[in-house]
Amino acid sequence: MLYATHAVVDLDAIAHNVQAARELSPGKQLLVAVKADAYGHGAVEVSRRLAADGLADWFGVATTPEALELRAAGITQPILKLSQCLAEDELDAVIASEITPTVVDSLTMAAAAAAADRAGRQHYPVHLAVDTGMRRIGCEPEEAVDIATEAAERGLDLQGIFTHLPVSDTPRGADFTQAQLKRFLAAVEAVQRTRVSAGMQPVPLVHAANSGALLGHLKDGCTMARPGIMAYGYYPDANESPRPVKLQPAITWQTKVSTVKRVAAGETVGYGRTWTARFDSWVATIPIGYADGFSRLNSNRGRVLIGGRSYPIAGRVCMDQSMVDLGPATPDHAAPVSVGDDVVILGTQGDQTISADELAELMATISYEVLCLIGKRVERLYRG
């Protein structure tokens, strides 16, 4: 390990969480979202483990390079790109690597068909996104039949139809979510009815259930579920999401103490001189900063664990380093920590835990962003 700051990813925990998602969606296929480098956990290693255990039927990505990385790593399961492709060469790369594209309208349908023709691929599979209220991507529900019909006319295989639920993670969103599901399933029923009347098979993969829906809503009428954040051990809403299963956070983010020094009363620490020692104090430096994903919002507010104890951040988080207030430096007391001691940024040490939810609350954001912010230069180590 060439850099002290690293993250340990527990693959057994991820397998446990995905198995829990399976138990919440019996009889359904499972697409596990591994976009954004598996929410910061490492898409290749996570996908390999879930594939080896037979826990994921599909993988979901946001970008074509994410999908190509999985194919290069030997992942053979179907991969769905969850948004439309924007360029001809992107579609060509998608089809050459047998990645399933999402279509959202006649334009993207025509582009996918043209790419399939260039590749000499007949009946290439696509999934249709239907917008039932997210207002992000997808056709309107009343357009679904026409676009599904166009897929057949253009020689594409409409293998899946899906929507996304923006407030399924909280009971306050239940009415909106149920209305979305009603609109979605009505559109699906219309598509299926039209296909059967034309002598075609129904669309086999119908999916809407993200983590929030898996945890808190009925999924009748769907044949596939799409867990995301729950696969990595966190509930989509830290306070309000139902918890029918016990999830296990899968990542521990660590570094080591690099310096310990005595700071005299009245001296300041860090950029902007925002922290002043009220009395002679021990201050440690740790090699982690905002370039690693440890947000500058932790300045003078965050905390870390050293030796099973909690210590506050002193001063501003720097690009590559941060300082930690270790408490009073009295003449007859040595520093409570030493150079080389393990430091936990995210995870458990002794009986203390810092969760992604805690960091998210401090940053006024969500656990997803905390995990995704962990930078590429932070080496991932895997166990399990």
**Torsions phi, psi for 202 (to 5 deg):** -60, 155
Q: Are strands 352-354 and 259-263 parallel, antiparallel or unpaired?
A: unpaired
- Is residue 380 classed as helix, strand or coil in its secondary structure? strand
- The catalytic position among 3, 182, 271, 376 is 271
Quote the DSSP letter at residue 313: B
- The catalytic position among 35, 235, 290, 368 is 35
Structure tokens at 72: 């290069």
CB atoms within 10 A of CB 173: 19
Instruction: Tell the residue number behind the tokens 């879930």, with chain if given.
Output: 50
Nearest to 30 by CA among 227, 217, 185: 227
Contacts of 135 (CB under 8 A, 6+ apart): none
CA–CA distance from 71 to each of 47, 49, 68, 77, 78 (Å)?
Answer: 11, 14, 5, 9, 10
Structure tokens at 260: 């310990």
**Torsions phi, psi for 81 (to 5 deg):** -85, 115
- Is residue 304 classed as helix, strand or coil in its secondary structure? strand
Per the annotation, the verdict on 246 as an active-site residue is: no
Per the annotation, the verdict on 376 as an active-site residue is: no
Catalytic residues: 35, 271
